[in-house]
Structure 1
């Protein structure tokens, strides 16, 4: 997180936490005075080494769900501080990022010495390791990866988040190389877009960091430079520079652009070279945006859909059109399952479908985007009415869009979404005091931030579900409530 700042970097004031835990998901447990992270999670092997800590594989003890936990030291040395206000802003913003190419953050915990960021479990490779192993990737495969990176970058920029340090060591590959799903999972240098100010703050030299960043004068286009460098590395197996950033700046200023000779020698298409050059313009005011990059003709050249994708596509649209919600409370619980419990393995086919539907790459689905596909098989007026019906029940927060988790909740086969395993995990996560029963206060905690926040109508359903009238629901009553009222 960007909460770790040095005296030589962004000017911040050192502050201390008076709390044992910073939380945005009220369904997770606090670290009490005598409680340790190992009381909640079984920490297993290290899966990534970071400058100020590690990412480890972990098992959530109450539910046996796999998680990745980023463990950061709160105090590195006398010049590194934890900035409370900045941390709170980052957690609030990053926890709301809901995009198929960004690792989910479930919770933030801390004790006196360490910060624990509980994340979606990733099982696969770092993109950096894959580049080292494979050497050079095909244009088609490179395009499949870069489109996902740019989609995540555009989504971040639309939500006023700048990464600042994108590189292959911070990008995770979630499955096989033939058609990988990538996820950006490290926002340690992230900042926030302020239209009134140019960003300041210097970072260590890295060939993937935009040349303007070490000079302390930049905007969100610094992320586009990094994507251009990653694309070059994927296609050539190397970076265009072997010197430090000062030499890079001087070289580009003299030549006006990077040397494309090696790209031409490798037979890289002129469209790919054109996109790289536009992303690696030295003057960031002349550099293309994420939206412009995604609209580049190179992606049209390398795109193709397989039969399996088409099959998944049709199945998902059928589930989406059949989706109905008989209870807002049940709908909220199903979205909780989609956000917190559904694994990457279970949702990877839906990720591909979501990205096909999301034609403007903004990380959410509009009515127009859905109508476009439904009207292929039914008249446009019928498609309009169908999509209106879908939005009435799937758009839980009434934002006018279907966000990624809302799509997963609405388009996943119901027998998978509310399987016994998922319902049991959801019950244990909502049951904060671990007494085997859920009270109204615990259920209310998962409704904060939804359209049901402050709405007491859902309590009627809770009363019906509470068969033994003890004011709480046990796990059997919970099962019955979710299954009975479908």
Structure 2
């Protein structure tokens, strides 16, 4: 879980500094990760009920635990090795005795939901699985063995402008992607970006989503959370939105180039006052050789007014970033819209297979999709009509009615005139799920009715009762690569992983698929 501001600040900052840095400007936040205002609630019994809504395997049967990698307020991170493969992972173990209220349990659940939700993003640490026993919750995730960006600055010194610009491009693209998927991290700092390779400054992965929340367009928050040096002034004023994360990124950029934070003091209240005053020091010795372009970008990212601060796409198109960072082919489509567009281009068999996969995802894996679906304006209903879909999607990106209708036609698999949550899940499920063999097996088995390892024309017709059979025949011929009159598992997997197999859909006449939905807890 993350960290909340409000407690005392340690007396020293702990950034070992080179000759070009000023040690007297630093306070030590590293040993405690960050300042916490969590009040230890007395008189409450530890939560003894299940955190997850399903039973899991015994983690000790699957993994061997090694040394401690780190320790935070709510858990300990261990090195663990998967017994069957020998692959090393990191395991965050959260003692149930630390979960003193129902809200603590909901916070942990939300953290897991968000990690699953962001699993398709390149620069997010990948969650492998979650296990629960009577004493603890265990989150197994990708191992990042290269240290964090804090250690990189501490031991390697300040970065060149070129390297800092590339890192900033990666970090801001991560922020932009999170926001487009309806997530705010809320604890962006050097320590929360890990390196998978200690010799590659750009191999960074964002970690620690304990303070992260799902957001709707225009939603504001009022709780002060995060790490003191990285807080935006509007966070301190208890009214903030996603713009605050660009401010935090600006702090990171300042530190990458100079080795010290722009707003500092001997105590927490002094830090807050410095942030509110907003005086940025570019006169110190370490800034003498830094370009005006870098200073201009920092100034605009640290603008006190959220409405006048640079947006993520404006940071990415700033001349200093463009001149120093590698060019990116990434589009700026919001992730929700981008995924819907991608889904609309899939053939019918592939879209229905994705729905089968979506129906079999756990609550932890679907929590993020539920939050976005509700954010489209559905008021927790299970279906959304065209007008509501139009209103919701236009909060992310301005689209023509014809574009929205085209997306709706593709997502509305049962052609009942509305998009149901299960259909929305199918359209927005991260493609990374295809990397998990059991999802592909589940989808294939749905069509392979007799379980003989092949999908026949009769089985396809049975699965798609009500569809134009000429269209299904066209799909069958494309997927049946060896022309033996049936689709085997390897051909099915090739179709699922290859976006080149495209056949235009025609609407189905009735719905054959239903599922139960568990509501996602709302962010505080």
TM-score range, shorter chain: 0.5 to 0.7
Could you give the per-residue CA deviations for residues 335-382 of structure 1, whole angstroms, max 9, x where no partner exists? 99xxxxxxxxxxxxxxxxxxxxxxxxxxxxxxxxxxxxxxxxxxxxxx
Q: For 1:96, which of 103, 117, 141 is the aligned residue?
A: 117
Superposed CA RMSD in Å reads 4.6
What displacement does 1:464 show?
Answer: 2.8
Contact 1:17 1:84 (8 Å CA) reproduced: no
Name the SS of the counterpart of 1:70 in structure 2: strand
Structure 1 CA distance for aligned equivalents of residues 136 and 251 of structure 2: 33
Q: Secondary structure at the match of 2:228?
A: coil
- Deviations 1:244-302 (Å, cap 9, x if unpaired)? 44323433544x43122137733111111111111112233332222222221211110
Instruction: State whether residues 162 and 325 of structure 2, in contact with CA within 8 Å, keep that contact through their aligned partners in structure 1.
Output: yes
Partner of 1:171: 193
- The answer (yes or no) to whether the contact 1:221–1:284 under 8 Å persists in 2 is yes
Q: CA deviation at 1:405?
A: 6.4
Of 247, 261, 273, which residue of structure 1 is paired with 2:270?
A: 247
Q: Equivalent residues in 2 for 1:2-401 (5 A)?
A: 16=47, 18-19=49-50, 21-22=52-53, 30-31=55-56, 36-76=58-98, 82-97=103-118, 98-178=120-200, 180-195=202-217, 197-203=219-225, 206-243=228-265, 244-254=267-277, 256-262=278-284, 265-304=287-326
Instruction: Describe the superposition over 1:412-461 as per-residue Cα deviations: whole angstroms up to 9, x where unpaired.
Output: xxxxx8xxxxxxxx66x78xxxxxxxxxxx943xx5xxxx8xxx752258
The verdict on how the C-alpha distance between 1:147 and 1:398 changes in structure 2, with shifts beyond 3 A counting, is farther
Larger radius of gyration: 2
Partners of 2:433 and 2:53 lie apart in 1 by: 27
TM-score normalised according to structure 1 size: 0.60
Q: CA deviation at 1:90?
A: 4.2
Query: Structure 1 residues 90 and 148 mapped into 2: Cα distance closer, same or farther (>3 Å)?
Result: same
Unaligned runs of 5+ in 2: 5-35, 329-345, 359-409, 411-421, 456-486, 495-524
Q: How many residues align?
A: 354
Partner of 1:459: 448
d(CA) in 1 for partners of 2:136, 2:122:
28
Cα contact 1:15–1:84 (8 A) shared by 2:
no
Structure 1 CA distance, aligned partners of 2:146 and 2:317?
Answer: 29
Match of residue 351 from structure 1: none
SS in 2 for 1:95: helix
For the residues of structure 1 that align with 2:426 and 2:255, how far apart are their CA atoms? Answer: 36
Residue 185 of structure 1: how far off its partner (Å): 1.4
> Matched residue of 1:212: which SS?
helix
Structure 1: gaps of 5 or more residues:
24-29, 307-323, 337-390, 392-396, 410-416, 418-425, 431-441, 467-479
Tell me if the contact between 2:453 and 2:489 (Cα under 8 Å) persists in the aligned partners.
Answer: no
